[in-house]
Chain A
Amino acid sequence: MENTEWRLRPPANLVSKRAILHWTLRAAIVWTIVVGAQAIHLLIDDGSSTWVRVVALVSLVVAVAHVAVMPRWRYAVHRWETSPEAVYTRSGWINQEWRLAPVSRIQTVDTARGPLQQLLNLSTVTVTTASAAGPVKIENLDASVAARIADELTSTTQATPGDAT
């Protein structure tokens, strides 16, 4: 047992399929502003130098690549799992992060929905502990699933004694 080489197994559940759409829209909005501003500048100002054109072209290519690749990649990475003992999540895309928080140390469980998420009926669950290292987040769950998890975690947390520090 001591000599086994371990790896982290992926958490059991995927996030909602609509998360791909959410990430795509969010990235597309940001890139539209960035690339759009450069395009307007190029249209108005005829005499722009070569490097301005090069920068605009590069950002267009990066934008397309990011919008095309990031959401699907994220969907493959983002996973979550809750057990009676712990909350376990994986997130990120190029850089990835696993979080593990024992249920006995949970202080609050919130769900939140941004404007885009409301359109897509998605919800983000935020689990906070006493630490300043940041909460454990499960992004873009189906709203009903998020509500169920929040309820479950809240009731198990209340059943656990102690001040969770």
Chain B
Amino acid sequence: MTVQPDTGFPAAPPVDEPSREWGRLDPRMIIVRPLNELLGLLIPLFAIAFLGNGETWRLAVSGATVGALILYGLFAWLTTKYRISETQVELHKGLLLRQRLAIPRDRIRTVDLTSKLGHRLFGLTAVRVGTGQQERTPGEGVVLDAVTAAEADRLRQVFLHRPTATDEPTADQPADEGTPISTLDRRWYRYAPLSMSGLVTIGIFAGFGMNILNELDLEFSKVGFIRSVVTWVTDSNPLVVVPAVAGVVLLVSVILSFLTYLLQNHGYHLNRHADGTVRVRRGLLTTRSVSVEEQRLRGVTLHEPLLLRAGRGGRLTAVTTGLGRANGSGLLLPPAPRAEADRVSAEVLHAPTAPTAERLTRHPARARTRRLVRAITPNVVLAGALLLLAASADWPNWLWITAVCLLPISVLIGLDRYRNLGHTLTDRYLVSRSGSLDRETVALQRTGIIGWKFTQTLFQRRAGLLSVTAVTAAGKGGYAVVDIGEGDGLALADKTIPDLLRPFLAPY
């Protein structure tokens, strides 16, 4: 039925071995897909159906949503099929928009196995295949959602097994558990509240909840408890209310961040496998297992947001081709002690010492002025604008006073940004560090650099500074060494890849 869909696309490239059978996704997906969607919509649906006065339209909307989801699951299953030949992976999918995807197997760099709760009830797993191609929008690319867990494991072995090896990759190889690099330590939970994830979750829920309440016109003021809380907040002394609300938000955010950590990182394992991959497994309800081909691992990024840094912790992600930027698929180590992050980065990169722990060369003092100016200017502009509005348009005075009071903080942030600037060159890695609120230390493999970008603003030119960006196929595509002295920056680039830049340099 899907021989030649009516699209203007050219036919998929010819397949070497057309005898291979088309496979379908597991039939249980007819149930699992709607189930997964329903789990996400449970709260809004419940709110629509049962809050309010039980009008018929509420029930009708809920019923129609559930019906549509079930139909969607059925059609998604009916229209999706895949085939794996010697040279490529093909996937056909879509009802209204037919898609035919084919990717060469030797371009597969990463395999990401994800099982949501619905999947796990039925022992299924979604397989996402990453190639060297940069993902333009999240969700693009070849995803087999879903096959049985055993089939998924077989596919991973097939996909990451290099075609140069002649022996047929089979499932009868003994299960490869790999050598552990790192596993979750219960003490790491103390870093959970430092990651601010709880506060973010509260923000999302508050925004989402407000929207739904507005849309549905629910009359919460009729619920006694909520009404008494609202009356208390509006009537009491602000000196009592503000600390109380702050305390509650803090408490809830701490609890939520523990929960998030548990949900995302339960059972975290980082292993190295004999087939030349490193594999991260984690998750409580939704389990993920991401395999990265080590040959394509171009480096690591150590993330130290301010609070996590204050607690001497850090988070590690992979710099590699083929991982989507969506929802943290590149995570190598969840928030953990800094020492552990350094140890893991050394192990993963096969380096004798951790490149992320190297002593970095500071940038010239001229860079400090620039960091300070860039940190303070927006604040000054904001304060000035608010002052103007207070004078001319009767805006309250406390706004600009607050903005002025924030100035010392932006000065501190500027100084910290300068303090964190740094770079160094190890025998295989270019290391660069920058940022304050979210400090990042990138160790980028020197052989993975495929070009340079040098940028200079007017002010940098006057200060004799330069930003050097190492262009690479992996990760973000470019990693910058910010505000390095002009001569030092060029010398650094020249030393990183000998002979490339030299013909374009001239002595002063």
Contact = CB atoms under 8 A, between A and B. Distances in A.
Given A97-B454, A99-B451, A133-B453, A85 B505 contact: no
Given A133-B478, A165-B132, A7 B487 contact: yes
A94 B321 CA distance: 34
Interface in B14-40: none
B450 A101 contact: yes
B507 interface: yes
B312 interface: no
B490 A8 contact: yes
B134 to A, nearest CB: 4
A62 interface: no
B458 interface: yes
A12 to B, nearest CB: 10
A130 B452 contact: no
Contact of A165 (B321, B469, B487): B321
Contacts of A132: 134, 476-478
B476 A7 contact: no
A153 B81 CA distance: 41
Interface in B455-508: 455-458, 461, 469, 471-473, 476-478, 486-487, 490-491, 494, 500-501, 503-508
Nearest to B501: A100
A85 B477 CA distance: 21
A83 interface: yes
Contacts of B321: 130, 165
Contacts of B450: 101-102, 105, 129-131, 164-165
A71 to B, nearest CB: 18
Contact of B504 (A9, A96, A105): A9
Contacts of B452: 98-100
B455 A96 contact: yes
Contacts of A4: 507-508
Interface string A99-120: 1111001000000000000000
Contacts of A99: 451-454
Contacts of B461: 96
Interface in A14-72: none
A47 to B, nearest CB: 19
A6 B132 contact: no
Contacts of B478: 131-133
Interface residues of B, number: 33
Nearest to A90: B454
A37 to B, nearest CB: 24
A95 to B, nearest CB: 5
Interface string B350-373: 000000000000000000000000
Given A96-B461, A99-B453, A131-B477, A6 B506 contact: yes
A94 B455 CA distance: 11
A6 B458 contact: no
A97 B453 contact: yes
Given A102-B500, A133-B453, A5 B471 contact: no
B455 A95 contact: yes
A129 B451 contact: yes
A163 B506 CA distance: 32
Given A96-B455, A96-B456, A131 B471 contact: yes
B451 A8 contact: no
A85 B500 CA distance: 8
Given A5-B487, A7-B490, A131 B505 contact: no
A105 B134 CA distance: 16
Contacts of A165: 132, 321, 450, 473
Interface string B425-454: 000000000000000000000000011111
A149 interface: no
Given A100-B452, A133-B471, A6 B503 contact: no
A70 B183 CA distance: 57
Given A94-B458, A165-B321, A6 B491 contact: yes
Contacts of A100: 451-454, 500-501, 504
A163 B494 CA distance: 24
A134 B453 CA distance: 10
A7 B451 contact: no
A100 B449 CA distance: 11
A131 B134 CA distance: 8
A88 interface: yes
A37 B289 CA distance: 57
A133 B469 contact: yes
A86 interface: yes
A164 B476 CA distance: 17
Interface of B: 132, 134, 321, 450-458, 461, 469, 471-473, 476-478, 486-487, 490-491, 494, 500-501, 503-508
26 contacts: A5-B508, A6-B494, A7-B505, A7-B507, A8-B505, A9-B504, A85-B503, A86-B500, A86-B504, A94-B457, A95-B456, A96-B455, A97-B453, A97-B454, A97-B455, A99-B452, A99-B454, A101-B451, A102-B450, A105-B450, A130-B450, A131-B478, A133-B453, A133-B477, A165-B321, A165-B473
Interface of A: 4-9, 11, 81, 83, 85-86, 88, 94-102, 105, 129-134, 136, 163-165
- Nearest 3 Cβ contacts at the A-B interface: A132-B477, A133-B478, A130-B473
